Amino acid sequence: MSVLESFSFGLPFIALKNAISGGEHLNIVNNENGFLLESENDLISCFNWFDQNTDKAEILGKNSFDFYTNKAIPMMQKVIKLSQNKYQQGEIDFLTYAQNIHKSIQI
């Protein structure tokens, strides 16, 4: 599941700080809408934290959903609108337009 897909369901995301895909660092605010862990060894501690702090975990979930609705969706809409305008004005070809739309969904 992607970071934003998780956020869209109000679920905090757990990832490694040194993850290579990039979406983690753009979207996860450590201890606010998810966790960026130092190593795989921290995963058990993180799961235990969720088990022992359900009230705080619920807040992380709410923060995740708020991030998705207040930041991610507007960013996607902006990229889509800009791409549509550039395509309609002939500044980009259809392939570039399609790639931009695809990228906007992955923001």
Distance of alpha carbon 83 from alpha carbon 99, whole angstroms: 9
Tens digit of pLDDT for each residue in 60-106?
999 999 999 999 999 899 999 999 999 999 999 999 999 999 888 76
The structure tokens 């201890």 sit at 31
Q: pTM for the complete prediction?
A: 0.79
Round to whole Å and give the CA distance between 45 and 49: 6
Residue 1 has pLDDT above 70, yes or no: no
Each residue's pLDDT tens digit, 7-61: 999 999 999 998 877 678 889 999 999 999 999 999 999 999 999 999 999 999 9
